[in-house]
Amino acid sequence: MKWNKYTLTTTAEAEDMISSMMMEAGIEGIEIEDKVPLSESDKSQMFVDILPEGPADDGVAKISFYLEPDADNAAMLKAVEEGLEEIRSWGINIGAATIEASQTEDKDWINNWKQYFHQFHVDDILIKPSWEEVQPEDREKLLIQIDPGTAFGTGMHETTQLCIRQIKKYVTEDTVLLDVGTGSGILSIAALKLGARYACGTDLDPCAINAVKENMEVNGIPEDKYTVMLGNIIDDKEVQDAVGYEKYDMVVANILAEVLVPLTPVILAQMKPGALYITSGIIDDKEETVVEAVKKAGLEVLEVNHQGEWVSVTARKN
């Protein structure tokens, strides 16, 4: 089925107000394109520092929405245009406010990302989506199946691979792991598959909670081997209490360098004496910032590893 697509050209200043107006008019989903740089708050919600510098903000925003061909498109467009005029009357700059119509093929928006994720190796570990088959030459490799869905963390990014290699190097059958910013749960799954006793994951994204549970199930990991919880361990006392204190032999955090800096002194309370702290998500020009934060917290730096332009820092709580 073809959908009618309508793209409104407006200003970044007005995009939030127009988006709210469209939803009140009955439009269920919209897409926004602009060049507004991410705020520090936006970045803190993300898992790895992988975004390049974008183009300069030109103040323009494009808001697209989709209507079924048999819907009353004329009535909806009239409601949108009336809403735009009302917003303009409030003195808000809505720019050109032109609406361009086109048609687009029906798509499986939830599953369309699957075309970009294929099986690959991290040394002797095979990481693959559940919809692909294991090749004969890989049948003896350690298998991790990941269906990331809307959560980050397929394992393809260098930062995740750096963490997996460090987990493999240090994990034991007694390891109790804390995975901060767990995403799809890939680092917890890797640790458990490599023999860890238990894993606890935390994340800010509600999508990650179901993704972790589904990926654990696909990998045959029983529910009594892991837990996953929603919340910010840096400043939420309830999350800190739920995670527990001096409980973990290993903490992994594959997140922004800007988040690692405030996380590091806080997470010491969750670590046993002698526990390892494995971090990544660090672009190479922020290596010294993270190393300095780790040392300032009183941790002993054991290794600094690189892959491409990315860095992993492994330290120990003495």
Instruction: Give the residue from 144, 146, 145, 148 showing the smallest Cα distance to 111.
Output: 148
Greatest pairwise CA separation for the chain in angstroms? 69
d(CA 160, CA 166): 10
List C-alpha distances in Å: 37 to 40, 53, 95, 283. 10, 9, 20, 18
Annotated binding site: 160, 181, 203, 254
d(CA 93, CA 107): 34
Question: Percent helix, strand, coil in the chain (nearest 5)?
Answer: 35, 30, 35
d(CA 202, CA 251): 11
Question: Would the CA dihedral through 179, 188, 131, 137 be positive or negative?
Answer: positive
Instruction: Give the residue from 187, 190, 220, 215 showing the smallest Cα distance to 201.
Output: 187
Determine the number of helices (DSSP H) and then strands (DSSP E) in the chain: 9, 14
Annotated binding site for S-adenosyl-L-methionine: 160, 181, 203, 254
d(CA 316, CA 251): 10
Q: What is the number of other CB atoms lying within 10 angstroms of the CB of residue 214?
A: 18
